């Protein structure tokens, strides 16, 4: 994760729940129609709607050349 965009209540809530730089965020599953999506973060699961998740800027892991 790189950053959370914005400085409103949603952005602050995301930061308060541990969505901070260098946090590892993984998609666990998506609802049948794609919204919300469940993520694994700091040992817990967090469900976010697309509008909330769109504020999170991520860096994808480097692909290894094994």
pTM of the model: 0.81
pLDDT less than 70: residues of the chain: 65-66
Domains, the chain, ordered by start: 3-57 (2.30.30.90)
CB 56 within 8 A of CB 25: yes
The pLDDT score that the predictor gives to residue 62 is: 80
The pLDDT score that the predictor gives to residue 56 is: 94
Q: How many CA atoms lie within 13 A of 47 on its CB side?
A: 6
The pLDDT score that the predictor gives to residue 66 is: 62
CB-count exposure of residue 9 (10 Å: 0-12, 13-18, 19+): exposed
The pLDDT score that the predictor gives to residue 1 is: 73
């Amino acid at each position: 994760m790189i950053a959370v965009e914005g400085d409103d209540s949603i952005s602050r809530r995301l930061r308060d729940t541990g969505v901070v730089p260098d946090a590892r965020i993984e998609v666990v599953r998506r609802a049948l129609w794609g919204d919300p999506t469940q993520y694994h973060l700091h040992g817990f699961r967090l469900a976010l709607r697309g509008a909330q998740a769109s504020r999170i800027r991520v860096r994808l892991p480097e692909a290894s050349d094994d």
